[in-house]
Amino acid sequence: MDMLWSGWGDPAKAAPLPDTVTGLLRDLLGVTPRGSGPTALDDIAVPGSPLTPEAHRALADCLGDPAHLRTDAETRIRHTRGKSTPDLLRIRAGEVDDIPAAVLLPGSHDEVLAVLRVCAEHQVAAVPFGGGTSVVGGLAPERTTFVALDLRRLDALLGLDEVSRTATLQPGLRAPRAEALLNERGYTLGHFPQSYEWATIGGFAAARSSGQASAGYGRFDEMVLGLTVATPEGTWETGRAPRSAAGPDLRQLVLGSEGALGVITSVTVRIRPLPQERVYEGWRFASFEAGAAALRRIAQDGPRPTVLRLSDETETFIGLAQPDRIGSADAAGSAGCMAVVGYEGTAAANEECRTGVHQVLLAEGGEHVGSEPGDRWAHGRYNAPYLRDALLDAGAFAETLETAAFWSAIPELYQGVRLALTTTLTDAGTPPLVMCHISHVYENGASLYFTVVSAQGEDPVAHWAPAKHAANEAILAAGGTISHHHGVGTDHRDWYATEVGPLGVRVLQAAKAELDPAGVLNPGILVPPRHP
Amino acid sequence: MDMLWSGWGDPAKAAPLPDTVTGLLRDLLGVTPRGSGPTALDDIAVPGSPLTPEAHRALADCLGDPAHLRTDAETRIRHTRGKSTPDLLRIRAGEVDDIPAAVLLPGSHDEVLAVLRVCAEHQVAAVPFGGGTSVVGGLAPERTTFVALDLRRLDALLGLDEVSRTATLQPGLRAPRAEALLNERGYTLGHFPQSYEWATIGGFAAARSSGQASAGYGRFDEMVLGLTVATPEGTWETGRAPRSAAGPDLRQLVLGSEGALGVITSVTVRIRPLPQERVYEGWRFASFEAGAAALRRIAQDGPRPTVLRLSDETETFIGLAQPDRIGSADAAGSAGCMAVVGYEGTAAANEECRTGVHQVLLAEGGEHVGSEPGDRWAHGRYNAPYLRDALLDAGAFAETLETAAFWSAIPELYQGVRLALTTTLTDAGTPPLVMCHISHVYENGASLYFTVVSAQGEDPVAHWAPAKHAANEAILAAGGTISHHHGVGTDHRDWYATEVGPLGVRVLQAAKAELDPAGVLNPGILVPPRHP
């Protein structure tokens, strides 16, 4: 099944907003219904493929079957940009100026290698496409002729080493399928980001994804032990041992490279035994500050549960942590901040960890509010993107952004980003609701995940741009990273350049020039092309 | 105090071998005493400094005080090469063909920057020098005029963030001093490699050091959160948040770069509360295989102690884990394999962990042999390099090498390296004693640390070379990395090139060319110079 072209996920799961929410949006934010929904797919004016006949033929020759090179309008539309709110607003309006010239479906590492060689020869750019879930412009390269490399045919579990507890996966495997293949053998990857239902293994690696169970299972980049990469210059293999002192860790150069250094064609990951039991529970804290202090204590001194997240007062009040309860009486009636704590493992290990966690959270002033909030969170954990579609349909604007910093910088980062978003959007006449949660914790810091809802304004894409700009500036000013788990893409590129500094940019450009001398790999993503 | 120029450590701590050991060496390995010890320092013929007067003046101008540029013979000899056994054999023989032209003692990041600019201008190579403990030729660049940048004056604790639990340290801090500065504030780094008494923070980062308590505290590269690097092209800062999805992790390009990409001038590390209690104990297993299986179970399913290591039968028999007991009756009388398990933390946490570990190790067939073997290990943990000096003095050859691999490759790696060393040295007429231990464990694999003792042969440096070559080949053939914690230097460079492949080498060369266009940073270390 393909994802909804104009929004998120399985079209059958789309649901309109409850009347209570529509009322809240109107009364609180001045959201008024828009007249029309998305343009019809058939009404979108798609330009002909700009591929030259020579390039078309040479690319087709790389693939076993002519059906694996597609230039029909629908396929091309479905591979246009990603799933950020501006992406959705533009595709809903029928804007397809970033449309690929063709969609290729390579079936092997060697086919990807061949395609990249042809791309270099014909000056056609290549954009790897996994789940298509980028929210940072990672699929919209600099205006140029490009093909999307849809990796869905590379969907095998290539190997599983039970002694070493590693699995080698192809990049086009969607997360639920990868998880099912591992589950059959008694293992789990433990990687459950919000994009779980659609995102792929290759995308997780290329964009340094982080899942909702990261407290227990770690980030995706921490799970990766080896990578095979296809580049225009040939095959690049990294990762010979779990840890090594043999030079720089080149795996860490591939992770986060977002298709700019090569196309990841296999990923060897650490796997863990399937948990016997998954237990989630809710905790209430008097304030975001108090809750954050409690999470910090757990992150630094343990015991470490598998899931650990904390909504701020606004998010708790609105109940976004439980989307299906938004605006309901009991969500609105709850004061303070809600945390979700989860335990995944053997029953005995869960019980032991839970006892220790309870001791710490009680000492930190937490109130245990039972399993119901945890279960509701677990039940609705992948639903927020569906909710966004409904909000857009209702005439609201909704977007998320995220960052991470050392613990000591978290209070200023939290206040700075909220202020930037609130001021910018209020000045523009659409006062927003800004919600935040701590989504991931580490010994030395944490991530902050913000959700913004407001009225759309006249031109919603243009309306949002200054707010996003101000949030990015606030993130850097407060010492945060421009992205904790969404990536850089084109949307964050300028701030990323500030974050890594001119020498960091030059090193990446030099690596890219070496692996991709023709500059055809997702050009303009991550770093600007060299000597433009 | 300076390290012994012709060997290891504090000259006052040197001790001759016990007679029992001398007897064993003679009877077992045919080791016969050498007539003479090291050449006297004053007898070494040191060539004049090849620095041009212009370069000398320009370099001196970068430093505040003329005394910070030294060209006297003793200082230069003390900065010649590192501490591998071939390094020691050559310096003991008075060979100083790798001697630096001068030794510089910069006192700030800006002075290092200025020195590197002058080096680039005058085509003088620069080799960062911390503790001088490299055992892989990391301080002996390609034959060229070079200066050693001794970083001992960069020895401050720059900052400590108790909320985030991070500390920023200068690179020239020796580990015991860094540890003392942190201990005063109630924290520890938890990094205790065998080179602990002499090695520096900068060296740990540049060579991806791993300490004996890595099971609990992690490797040094896992502790590093940020790095400042001086390069001929300017300052490079990496690490803005504990974790990030903002592109490749550039910290991981600096870690392990061994001075080839820049000079590390500050390191921000994760710190932990000082443990209340340190408890070590011994466990005996019937075989190395059985012990390795037990360690694997602990590494994969926990609970994880702080120290976890296992000697093979030969090492257990010889008692190298307890150097002061070598050849003693009770060491020789012990069968099987000895493991050391250590717990560092609060008394309660230690007790809880210990109970869990005992349960697993007993189930895996281990026999708890009390705290005495653990305490003896802890007491003698930094002594092996002193023992090597005594062995060299006694006419024996002694060297170590190490690797790591995924668990499933460990048996073949273990057998392959032992066979390569034994065959090569036996064929050369000096049958060796080859001992091994698992020094570090991970969920997905482990490291193997080999110690070789034999007679020296006629020309000991030349005699060892084919054995080291064969061991390196065996490591790569069995899927191991060419180094788990010693690094690449010049000694492992050719095998490293095989390990990372031609594209890996090209990426590193491209990064180096960008940061060091004149090619003056430790040239020939890690990767061969580009377009030679």
Which residues are CB-contacts of B35 (< 8 A; sequence separation ≥ 6)?
none
A484 lies within 8 A of chain B by CB: yes
Angle between helices A410-427 and A460-477 (to 10 degrees): 150
The answer to whether the beta carbons of residues A178 and A189 sit under 8 Å apart is: yes
Q: For residue A31, is it within any domain?
A: no
Contact A245, B496 (CB under 8 A): no
Give the domain CATH number at A177: 3.30.465.10
Please indicate, yes or no, whether residues B262 and B295 belong to a single structural domain of this protein: no
| The token pair that represents B215 in the structure block | 């099971």
Q: What are phi and psi of A298, to 5 degrees?
A: -65, -45
Question: Contacts of residue A261 in chain B, CB cutoff 8 Å?
Answer: 248
Task: Select from B165, B261, B405 the Cβ nearest to the Cβ of A444.
Answer: B165
Where do we find the tokens 């006892």?
A355
Reduced to 3 states (helix: H, G, I; strand: E, B; else coil), residue A515 is: helix
Tokens found for residue B51: 């620095």
Query: Tokens 């464990």 correspond to what residue?
Result: B441
| Same domain? A212 vs A119 | no
Question: Do the Cβ atoms of B163 and A404 come within 8 Å?
Answer: no
Residues of the domain holding B369: 277-380
Q: How many CB atoms lie within 10 A of CB A384?
A: 16
Say yes or no to pLDDT of A460 above 60.
yes
Give the other-Cβ count within 10 Å of A532's Cβ.
Answer: 6
User: pLDDT band for position B18 (50/70/90)?
Assistant: confident
DSSP B49-82: P---HHHHHHHHHHSSSGGGEE--HHHHHHTSS-
Residues B231 and B309 in one domain: no
The answer on whether B336 is annotated among ligand-binding residues is: no
Residues A344 and A321 in one domain: yes
Strand pairing report for A125-129 and B307-311:
unpaired
Q: What span, in angstroms and rounded, lies between the C-alpha atoms of A149 and A127?
A: 6
User: Is B122 part of any domain?
Assistant: yes
Q: CB under 8 Å, gap of 24 or more: what pairs does B465-472 form?
A: B466/B424, B466/B428, B467/B420, B467/B421, B467/B424, B467/B425, B467/B428, B467/B432, B468/B399, B468/B401, B469/B424, B470/B420, B470/B421, B470/B423, B470/B424, B471/B401, B471/B417, B471/B420, B471/B421
Of the partner residues A231, A248, A484, the one whose CB lies closest to the CB of residue B503: A231
Alpha-carbon distances, residue B178 vs B161, B184, B217, B288, B528 (angstroms): 15, 10, 16, 36, 34
DSSP state letter for A48:
P
Backbone angles phi, psi at B383, to 5 degrees: -90, -20
Task: Supply the CATH number for residue B301's domain.
Answer: 3.30.70.3450
As given in the structure block, the two tokens for residue B52 are: 């041009």
Chain B contacts of A210, Cβ < 8 Å?
243, 245
- Size (chain A), residues: 532
A263 is in an annotated binding site: yes
- CATH at A129: 3.30.43.10
List the single residue in A243, A484, A509 with the smallest CB-CB distance to B404: A243
**Which pLDDT value is given to residue B16?**
87
**Beta strands B337-345; B307-311: pairing state:** antiparallel
Same domain (yes/no): A141, A189:
no
Last residue of a domain, one of A235, A257, A273: A273
Token code pair at residue B352:
């809880």
In a domain, B31, yes or no: no
For the question of whether the overall pTM of this predicted structure is more than 0.90, the answer is: yes
**Would you say residue A36 has pLDDT above 80?**
no
Check whether residue A161 and residue A269 sit in a common domain.
yes
pLDDT value of residue B332? 43
Taking a C-beta distance cutoff of 8 angstroms, is the pair B224, B210 a contact?
A: no
Same domain, B161 and B71: no
Out of A251, A273, A295, a domain closes at A273
C-alpha to C-alpha distance for A523 and A521, rounded to whole angstroms:
5
Contact assignment for B252 to A248 by CB distance below 8 Å: yes
pLDDT of residue A372 exceeding 80: yes
Residue with tokens 């911390």: B130
Residue B112 counted as domain residue: yes
Q: Which helix (H) or strand (E) holds A60?
A: helix A53-62
For the segment A172-187, the average pLDDT, to the nearest whole number, is 98
- At A320, the pLDDT band (50, 70, 90 cuts) reads low
B257-290: pLDDT as tens digits = 999 999 999 999 999 999 999 999 999 999 999 9
Q: How confident is the model at residue A327 (pLDDT cuts 50, 70, 90)?
A: low
Q: What is the pLDDT of residues A480-514, one digit of tens each?
A: 999 999 999 999 999 999 999 999 999 999 999 99
| Residue B385 marked ligand-binding | no
Number of domains in chain A: 3
- Asked if A267 and A167 sit in the same domain, the reply is yes
Contacts for B316 with CB less than 8 Å, ≥ 6 apart: B334, B336, B337, B338
Q: So what's the pLDDT on residue A321?
A: 47
B172 shares its domain with B206: yes
CA distance, residue B361 to nearest chain A CA (Å) = 18
H or E, element range at B504 = helix B493-515
> Which residue, of B135, B150, B165, is where some domain finishes?
B150
**Is residue A338 assigned to a domain?**
yes
Angstrom CA distances, B158 to B167, B173, B236, B269, stand at 8, 11, 18, 11
The residue among A366, A385, A384 whose CA lies nearest residue A305 is: A366
pLDDT score of B323:
54
Q: Rounded mean pLDDT of chain A?
A: 95
d(CA B519, CA A216): 44
| Chain A contact present for B165, CB below 8 A | yes
pLDDT bracket for residue A33 (50, 70, 90): confident
pLDDT tens-place string over residues B298-351: 999 999 999 999 999 999 988 754 555 555 545 444 589 999 999 999 999 999
Tell how strand A102-104 and strand A146-150 pair up: parallel
SS3 B410: helix
Same domain, A50 and A135: yes
Confidence of residue B531 (pLDDT cuts 50, 70, 90): low
Alpha carbon distance A217, B363 (integer Å): 26
Task: Establish if A394 touches chain B: CB-CB under 8 angstroms.
Answer: no
Instruction: Look at residue B287 and tell me if it is in a domain.
Output: yes
B85 and B464 in contact (C-beta within 8 Å)? yes
A372 known member of a binding site: no
Residue for token pair 């660049």: B141
DSSP secondary structure string, B198-240? T-BHHHHHHTT---TTHHHH--HHHHEEEEEEEETTEEEEE-S
Residue A1, pLDDT score: 79
Nearest chain B residue to A241, by CA:
B405
Q: Are residues B187 and B228 part of one domain?
A: yes
> Does B491 map to a domain?
no
* Residue B56 confidence (pLDDT) above 70: yes
pLDDT for A88-138, tens place per residue? 999 999 999 999 999 999 999 999 999 999 999 999 999 999 999 999 999
Q: Is A19 within the bounds of a domain?
A: no
Q: What is the pLDDT of residue A37?
A: 82
Pairing of strands B224-231, B146-150: unpaired
Q: Cβ distance A429 to A483 under 8 Å? A: no
Check if A68 contacts B (Cβ < 8 Å).
no
Count the Cβ atoms, other than its own, within 10 Å of residue A54: 11
Instruction: Pick from B225, B238, B244, B355 the residue to mutate for testing the A interface (most A CBs within 10 Å).
Output: B244
pLDDT for B507 beyond 90: yes
Check residue A332 and give its pLDDT: 44
Q: A254 — phi, psi (to 5°)?
A: -75, -45
Catalytic residue flag (residue B449): yes
- Same domain, yes or no, for A374 and A301? yes
